[in-house]
Chains A and B, each alone.
Chain A
């Protein structure tokens, strides 16, 4: 496995934008402008600067992913939020780029060359919550050469019982268009529409514990089948072992290789609980998600993170995540053709639709770089996670190890 070093060009560009953004924001926060940024007039306004009513938060991050299936991804991103805690409004945005380079076994099995691709994603979110009741609107766009996705949504929230209980209801609509590289969407495209409903309850359980219960229902309509994914077919009764190599599969399969075909609708449901508990000098965060969908996949995801305060400026701790899922109902390791050489109506080669177990372990480190009065005004963070995936009933591969590293620089102005 090759773990690439940080690309100086991409990191430099991200940091450059970050520095410019913080400089502009700091200039904009001075009490000389108009509108919400203007400080209230006071008797001594001419002798000392008035405090800004705005808070600004900016961050720049860089992530790098590599795995044993020869997939490499670099992800620089920047984000910023401007908010008025007194007026209750907030506006934020994020922009990221995924630079993907892949020569996975799926690509090799179709005799294709390594491919490189760039994906860009931007999203904005605005919220207004002057008192106990609040609203939020959000939107995002993701673009790559053969895929365009956008979504827009909103949410309402209300604090009850002196902010000991908060409920949230949200809805978002997403629209995905998948095509083929080098072919316009008007010539070939597949569309998936997505309606996502979200409901959450957050409860203060004690002076040191807070918990959330989150329900999601996502209704998808359209054809999500990948236009590049060809499925090997075998004669009835053919035995193909788990993890069979590309060479063995090519030797055993028949010549016909139909494209993947997935069902044209999917209803997905998730129920999650999240608890955060503050000890003396440490925070424990626990998540549990249970998932089921209309394709008969069931999954459980458990996430735990313990963050220690190692001194006034340093916070660090371990992170672990376990994800296990069953296969969708139409999953087969080796699809066979029927008596009339007809293909199975539903077929897939997507390993993330098969049975698998993911085990992730990692560490987080955050260092406060601000002055003594506010160490967290500048924070440098590092994350490193390694994931071992066991594919329980797949062709080509039986396991994968991936590493994700990231660095983040954040500032509050």
Chain B
């Protein structure tokens, strides 16, 4: 359990330490760029190769984004 908490902290702290700024819709031009999605950009074949070559799984799914669109 202690090791799990350590791993969680290792990943979460750098992300949340930057704080969540309130960004208005009109400020999101850069966030609307196609490469700014929080989805995994791997192609189907690349994702499949990773699944075979790596013993670990997970981490692919995240919803939402910053662009403010649907």
A residues touching B (Cβ–Cβ < 8 Å)?
61, 63-65, 73, 75, 77, 79, 85, 88, 94, 96, 98, 129, 155, 157, 159, 161-168, 170, 198, 200, 202-214, 216, 218, 268-276, 278, 283, 285, 287-292, 297, 299, 301, 305, 307, 315, 323, 325, 328, 352-353, 356, 358, 376, 383, 385, 387, 389, 402, 404, 406, 408
- Please state if B63 and A166 are interface contacts (CB–CB under 8 Å): yes
- Please, how many angstroms separate the alpha-carbon atoms of A155 and B60 in the complex? 14
Using A65-B49, A276-B35, A292-B7 as known contacts, say yes or no to A301 and B56 having CB atoms under 8 A apart.
Answer: yes
- Please state if A270 and B56 are interface contacts (CB–CB under 8 Å): yes
Using A270-B58, A291-B57, A404-B49 as known contacts, say yes or no to A208 and B30 having CB atoms under 8 A apart.
Answer: yes
What are the residues of chain B within 8 A of A376 when measuring CB–CB? 34
Using A205-B21, A305-B41 as known contacts, say yes or no to A168 and B61 having CB atoms under 8 A apart.
Answer: yes
Using A168-B61, A205-B18, A285-B35 as known contacts, say yes or no to A96 and B44 having CB atoms under 8 A apart.
Answer: yes
Cβ-defined partner of B56 (8 Å) among A209, A289, A383: A289
For B45, B57, B63, B65, the residue with the greatest tally of chain A CB atoms inside 10 Å of its CB is B63
- Please, how many angstroms separate the alpha-carbon atoms of A203 and B10 in the complex? 18
- Please, how many angstroms separate the alpha-carbon atoms of A162 and B10 in the complex? 28
- Please state if A273 and B12 are interface contacts (CB–CB under 8 Å): yes
- Please state if B44 and A63 are interface contacts (CB–CB under 8 Å): yes
Interface contacts (Cβ under 8 Å), in number, total: 210
Using A162-B22, A205-B18, A270-B58 as known contacts, say yes or no to A75 and B44 having CB atoms under 8 A apart.
Answer: yes
Output the least CB separation between A11 and chain B (Å).
13
Using A164-B22, A285-B35 as known contacts, say yes or no to A207 and B27 having CB atoms under 8 A apart.
Answer: yes
- Please state if B37 and A77 are interface contacts (CB–CB under 8 Å): no
- Please state if A77 and B18 are interface contacts (CB–CB under 8 Å): no
- Please state if A218 and B57 are interface contacts (CB–CB under 8 Å): yes
- Please state if A291 and B18 are interface contacts (CB–CB under 8 Å): no
- Please state if B68 and A163 are interface contacts (CB–CB under 8 Å): yes
For B29, B53, B64, B69, the residue with the greatest tally of chain A CB atoms inside 10 Å of its CB is B64
For A164, A299, A402, the residue with the greatest tally of chain B CB atoms inside 10 Å of its CB is A164
- Please state if B56 and A202 are interface contacts (CB–CB under 8 Å): no
- Please, how many angstroms separate the alpha-carbon atoms of A168 and B46 in the complex? 25
- Please, how many angstroms separate the alpha-carbon atoms of A165 and B15 in the complex? 13
- Please, how many angstroms separate the alpha-carbon atoms of A193 and B8 in the complex? 27
What are the residues of chain A within 8 A of B58 when measuring CB–CB? 214, 216, 218, 268-270, 272, 289, 291
The 8 closest A-B pairs by CB, nearest first: A166-B64, A63-B45, A270-B58, A216-B58, A272-B59, A168-B63, A291-B56, A299-B56
Using A61-B43, A299-B56, A352-B55 as known contacts, say yes or no to A213 and B22 having CB atoms under 8 A apart.
Answer: no
- Please state if B31 and A273 are interface contacts (CB–CB under 8 Å): no
- Please state if A210 and B38 are interface contacts (CB–CB under 8 Å): yes
Cβ-defined partner of A283 (8 Å) among B11, B36, B60: B36
A276-B35, A328-B55, A352-B54 given; 7 more Cβ-contact pairs under 8 Å: A75-B45, A162-B22, A166-B64, A203-B15, A204-B31, A218-B57, A323-B53
What are the residues of chain A within 8 A of B12 when measuring CB–CB? 213, 271, 273
- Please state if B49 and A268 are interface contacts (CB–CB under 8 Å): no
What are the residues of chain B within 8 A of A168 when measuring CB–CB? 61-64
- Please state if A212 and B10 are interface contacts (CB–CB under 8 Å): no
What are the residues of chain B within 8 A of A270 when measuring CB–CB? 56-59
Output the least CB separation between B65 and chain A (Å).
6
Using A270-B56, A325-B56, A389-B53 as known contacts, say yes or no to A75 and B15 having CB atoms under 8 A apart.
Answer: no
- Can you offer 15 A-B residue contacts whose CB atoms are under 8 A? A162-B24, A166-B64, A202-B64, A202-B66, A204-B21, A216-B57, A271-B8, A274-B62, A278-B33, A278-B35, A301-B56, A315-B35, A389-B53, A404-B45, A408-B43
Output the least CB separation between B33 and chain A (Å).
6
Using A204-B31, A276-B38, A278-B31 as known contacts, say yes or no to A323 and B56 having CB atoms under 8 A apart.
Answer: yes
What are the residues of chain B within 8 A of A287 when measuring CB–CB? 59
Using A200-B62, A208-B30, A278-B33 as known contacts, say yes or no to A271 and B56 having CB atoms under 8 A apart.
Answer: no
